[in-house]
Chain A
Amino acid sequence: MPQVRGLSGDSVTIGRGARIGARREGLARFARFALFLAGVVASGAALAAPPFEDTIAQRVVACTGCHGKEGRAAPDGYYPRIAGKPAGYLFNQLRNFRDERRHYELMNGLLALLDDAYLQEIADHFASLDLPYPAPLAPVGSAALRDAGEALVRRGDPARGVPACNDCHGAQMTGLAPFIPGLLGLPRDYLNAQLGAWRSGQRRALPPDCMAQVAQRLSPEDIGAVSAWLAAQPVPAHAAAPPAPSTPLPIACGGVAAATGAASAPTR
């Protein structure tokens, strides 16, 4: 069996196919080739053993099973893409799942015993991936529905105290680093489910929970319209979230206030 440097510098016997989702394809290809030769020499085996890599990408294959290879789930399913989302946003969501402010049993279970430092590293990893987006799916619903959705996204509804999505999520709706996520490139079902969960109190964030306030001012029809329009929009070429300006948000958000170092609940 081929040997590579292991977790703590020990030599580790590696298995075939142990690699899922490596980041640097070129390096990986070279490594595979080298290991192929080593494998032939060592065991006479005919097939190469894709290398096991002591990387954060290797550690989080638990995530990429649902969120897609490298966390780039496409909008044709339910699970949201996580690749390239702002690091602070991802970190907050990991904590929200761990501490059961968000409820999805598989996520709650996976994260229950992970500490803040590791969640931050996982968040930083997925945030650092700058990968292209696929084209949006064909629009659903009537044009009138999507027009209503676009109006809410771009202008909000001041009469009901609903701010425009653009006001916080950026003019291009690609989010504002490091805490505010983009809204494009996500499955319509996922958008519907999240806005619905905020409206019902099933999804929560650190207080003040700005999105809960916004969603509670929307009707189910509004949510359907917003989701239908957002899911039909292409993601611009430069999808990375620009840094947030220093101007205050139209509504106070606990997840953004966490930037100032508000302590989270201790994990142990």
Chain B
Amino acid sequence: MKLGKTSIALAVVATLMLLAAIAVVALNRDDDLPRAPEAAARASDADLIARGEYLVRAGSCYGCHTEPGGAPYAGGRAIETPFGIVSAPNLTPDGTGLAAWSSDDFWRALHNGRSRDGRLLYPAFPYPNYTRLARADADAMFAYLKSLAPVAKQNRPHALRFPFDQSVALAVWRALFFRPAQFETDSAKSPQWNRGAYLVETLGHCNACHSRRNVFGATAGPLDLAGGLIPIQNWYAPSLRDNAEAGVGDWPEREIVALLRSGTSARGSVQGPMAEVVARSTQFLSEDDLEAMAAYLGSLPDGTDATRRATGDINTASAPSEAGAKLYTTHCAACHGDRGEGVAGAYPALAGNRAVAITPPANLVHMVLRGGFGPTTPGHPRPYGMPPFATVLSDEQVGQVLSYLRASWGHHAPPVSTLEVSRYRGAR
């Protein structure tokens, strides 16, 4: 009977929906901890606070939780995501910030991705990484934040588009992509390697940029460091598992440490979002911790995709164009040299520079349009700057000069089209 079939179908659909709902709820189970009242003495422990400050820096909390020119950690910065704007909240111990929070509340935010009132937190806050933090580290971070001068600054509401502004959507996202977890020590590896892995996977949240995100904005996990285009900013965070991109398997450890410490090294220097990471975070880390990160990053296997490289070569049909060469001579050669040789310590060589050949060419376009200074650090207090060419060169010209670089001095990378330049110029 026709009606009967429809009824059965509806019943099946309803059952499936119910099961899905139960699954979402179950997978978001709070796995809550008893939240005890705060032991007052702990927050006055100077050592704990100092350790917490160090860990907060290692966690790059400043970058999102501080507005340019604003009070540190008082929040207010708008984080643009493909789903809308997430506003970083006030972390100072004011009534508008964390005054009412206990260290259990703070731990639940980091470990379970839930706010004090049980609300689900948006994963722009990298709790998929912080969930693996040690509880003792979270407590130290909290003690430091509690020691800051309170700053009265009301949190701004997020401005997310429908349906991402619905807590149900967030619950489904978490059911699919998030589980509270613990850091797993690899007993086959050295304590130094494990420390490096811990810093990279948890506090450093390196994969938040250095991995591809799916259409739901989720990464494949904290160990996926295979590179990805950073949403909205559209800088490309190169693969840390590919020595032809930003892999450091073939770097001396001291150069990896130098890059993270000072922003520059004999092998390369940082610009764009990574310059901010050095300025706000890694420059403050101890030698031991930077060496641990270097040991871990240096141990990642070189995942260079030979097929992709070969394809890249085939795609490179174009010879260096005359227009590109002319633009290079006019605008670039004064600093980077006629043969792309650069000036050691000041202007990067472009010949033999792997950053020139990376696809997508996002970072090259940003550098030409915006120019830049590396971060000032004690090891590199007076960086040389590159002028912005956004007001000097058209999109077509930027494409021409970059295509010239990518086909010169031994590079065999695909050309950069005018359209690509326009797309990156529009990014922020």
Contacts and interface: CB of A to CB of B under 8 A. Distances in A.
Contacts, number: 134
B149 to A, nearest CB: 12
B342 interface: yes
B381 to A, nearest CB: 6
Contact of B384 (A10, A58, A100): A58
A265 B70 contact: yes
B376 A18 contact: no
B391 A113 contact: no
A17 B345 CA distance: 16
B374 to A, nearest CB: 7
Contact of B343 (A52, A98, A100, A115): A52
Given A13-B344, A98-B69, A59 B382 contact: yes
A258 interface: no
Contact of B376 (A60, A66, A110, A113): A113
Interface string B56-97: 000000100001111110000000000000000000000000
Given A59-B383, A62-B387, A106-B388, A15 B371 contact: no
Contacts of B347: 15, 18
Interface residues of A, number: 45
A47 B334 CA distance: 14
B341 interface: yes
B174 interface: no
Contacts of B336: 15
B370 interface: yes
Contacts of B389: 65
Given A6-B345, A118-B383, 4 more contacts: A16-B337, A63-B385, A109-B370, A265-B69
Contact of A99 (B69, B334, B385): B69
Contacts of A8: 345
Chain B, interface size category, equals 35 or more
A62 B371 contact: yes
A42 to B, nearest CB: 14
A114 interface: yes
Interface in B363-399: 370-376, 381-392
A101 B69 contact: yes
Interface in A1-52: 6-8, 10, 12-20, 50, 52
Given A59-B385, A101-B69, A117-B381, A12 B345 contact: yes
Given A19-B334, A98-B69, A66 B388 contact: yes
B223 interface: no
A10 B336 CA distance: 19
B257 interface: no
B276 interface: yes
Contacts of B276: 112-113
